[in-house]
Amino acid sequence: MLAVDGATFEVRRGTITGMIGPNGAGKSTVLALLAGALMCASGSIVFDGVDVTSRSAYARARLGLIRTFQASSEFPRLTVLENLLVASRSRRGDSVLRVLAGPRTWRRDEEADLDRARALLGRFELSGQEQEYAGNLSGGQKRLLEIARGLMAEPKLLLLDEPMAGVNPALIQRIEEHLAVLRDEGLTMLMVEHELGVVERLCEPTIVMAQGRVLSEGTMAELRANEAVLDAYLS
């Protein structure tokens, strides 16, 4: 039984790299390995020039490697606004000594975070739900919240695990538009996705995985003409 086997690839800065493949190809496992949720038995992961293979998941996140999850992963009994505030890179307010010393030691960071969080909520049309418990949002709103929360963490690389899964077509278009704007702003993303139309419009290049290995890489037009890719999807 293999859980991935040979997945060697690069994600270039400023691009959305797509990752597609049949079920069981190892795509989500690769994302989990990159994020540090799973540790590699062999091989290495280099992020922004730093070998992060042995680093824990939270340490990689602090370097800017931020992931979203395939299933909704909000903090349900925190408000929408708090879900974003938790993602702030500032950790001054997490220090026990600073907290005991009083709000003066963390208030300035908090005010800046509030401004950023509200700006993001406005961008993703969630301002009206600021005070709503995240667990009470609709599925599509939760998906938008997760992307906004990922951005709040100021990622250098955003790992998107099937962001369109289970989402209605109108919302797929909205998410796609947001991701296109982020790409144009220079954010680097790696997106695992089954919606091939979305991948074609957003991603370049696209990596095809099958049976734990990278099968091919290129534009969707190139991949459509690749016999090995077609065989992998049809077999």
Partner 1 sequence: MSSSVQFYMTTILVYLGVDIIACLGLNLQFGMTGLVNFSFIVFQAAGAYTAAVVTLGPSSGNGGFQRYVGGANWPFPLPILAAAVVGGLLALIIGLFGLRRLRADYQAMVLLVVSLIATTVANNASGLVNGANGLALVPKPLQSTFNLSPLGFQWVFALISLSVAALIYLLVRRITNSPLGRTLRAVRENEFAAIALGKNVAALRLRAFVIGGAIAAVSGALFVEFITAWSPASWLFTESFVYFAALIVGGAGNNLGAVVGAALVPVGFLEATRFIPQFGRPGLVDALQWIVVGLLVALFLWFWPQGVFPERKRRYPPSRLRPSEADSPAPDRAPEMSPGA
User: What's the rounded Cα separation, in Å, for the pair 98 and 104?
Assistant: 9
Mark residues 6-35: x for contact with partner 1 by CB under 8 A, - for none.
-----------------------------x
Spatial CB neighbours of 118, under 8 Å, sequence gap ≥ 6: 81, 127, 130
- For residue 226, the minimal CB distance to partner 1 (Å) is 33
Count the residues of the shown chain that bind partner 1, applying the rule CB under 8 A: 55
Q: Which of 49, 102, 169, 186 binds partner 1 (CB under 8 A)?
A: 102
Residue 120 in the binding site for partner 1 (CB under 8 A) = no
Q: Which is nearer to partner 1, 137 or 220 (CB)?
A: 137
Helix (H) or strand (E) holding 115: helix 107-123
Q: What one-letter code names the amino acid at 22?
A: P
> Using the rule CB under 8 A, is 136 a contact of partner 1?
yes
Task: Return the DSSP state at 66.
Answer: E
Q: Taking CB under 8 A as the criterion, which residues in 158-217 touch partner 1?
A: none
Q: What share of the chain is helix, strand, coil (3-state, %, to 5)?
A: 45, 15, 40
Our finding on whether 67 is near partner 1 (CB under 8 A) is yes
Could you tell me which residues come within 8 angstroms of residue 179 by beta carbon, excluding any fewer than 6 positions away? 16, 147, 160, 163, 189, 191, 202
Only one of the segments 1-9, 42-50, 115-123, 167-175 lies at the binding site for partner 1 (rule: CB under 8 A); that segment is 115-123
Q: What angle do CA 149, 150, 154 make, to 5 degrees?
A: 110
Contact between 226 and partner 1 (CB under 8 A)?
A: no
Q: Which residues bind partner 1 (CB under 8 A)?
A: 35, 37, 57-58, 61-62, 66-67, 69, 73-79, 81-83, 85-96, 99-100, 102-103, 106, 109-111, 114-115, 118-119, 122, 127-133, 135-136, 149, 153
